[in-house]
């Protein structure tokens, strides 16, 4: 990723290692989560992804047996084995889990609040 792309980011990404289910119109696959933010996820998959840029997918991230983050996404970046998805929609329960995950890992509640504000303004 080049410096300009990093400069444009307004949402802090945290590294988080988890297996995720990615459901798309052609089926479902398991991918490895690399990092996550309020606006997107970076995933890794060691094979060509059967999804084109702009293609939609639902991603399920299991944090524990009873904790699930479910988000509707769009593929925005594909440079195998890395794939970046933009979050288009997330339900309230999933957003609560994501917020808590980010809060625990960022260690800065004020930064998280600013990012939540920015997300609402976009």
pLDDT score for 115: 56
Q: Which residue has the higher pLDDT, 98 or 45?
A: 45
- Report the half-sphere exposure of 20 (CA within 13 A, side-chain side): 28
User: What mean pLDDT value characterizes the chain?
Assistant: 83
CATH classification of the domain holding 37:
2.40.10.220
pLDDT at 66 > cutoff 60: yes
Q: Which domain holds residue 107?
A: 3-121
pLDDT score for 107: 66
**Beta pairing, strands 56-64 & 14-24:** antiparallel
The pTM (predicted TM-score) of the whole model is 0.79
Chain segment 22-40, per-residue pLDDT in tens = 999 989 999 999 999 888 9
pLDDT score for 114: 66
Number of domains in the chain: 1
pLDDT score for 27: 94
pLDDT at 3 > cutoff 50: no
Who's near 79: CB < 8 A, 6+ residues apart? Answer: none
Who's near 103: CB < 8 A, 6+ residues apart? Answer: 109, 112
pLDDT at 122 > cutoff 70: no
């Amino acid at each position: 990723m080049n410096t300009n792309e990093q400069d444009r980011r307004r949402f802090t990404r945290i590294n988080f290692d988890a297996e995720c289910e990615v459901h798309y119109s052609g089926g479902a696959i398991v991918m490895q989560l690399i990092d996550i933010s309020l606006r997107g996820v970076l995933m890794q998959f060691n094979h060509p992804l059967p999804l084109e840029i702009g293609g939609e997918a639902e991603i399920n991230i299991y944090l524990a047996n009873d904790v699930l983050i479910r988000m509707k996404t769009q593929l925005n970046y594909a440079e195998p084995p890395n794939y970046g998805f933009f979050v288009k929609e997330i339900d309230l329960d999933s957003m609560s889990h994501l917020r808590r995950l980010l809060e625990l890992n960022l260690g800065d509640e004020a930064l998280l609040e600013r990012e939540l504000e920015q997300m609402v303004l976009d």
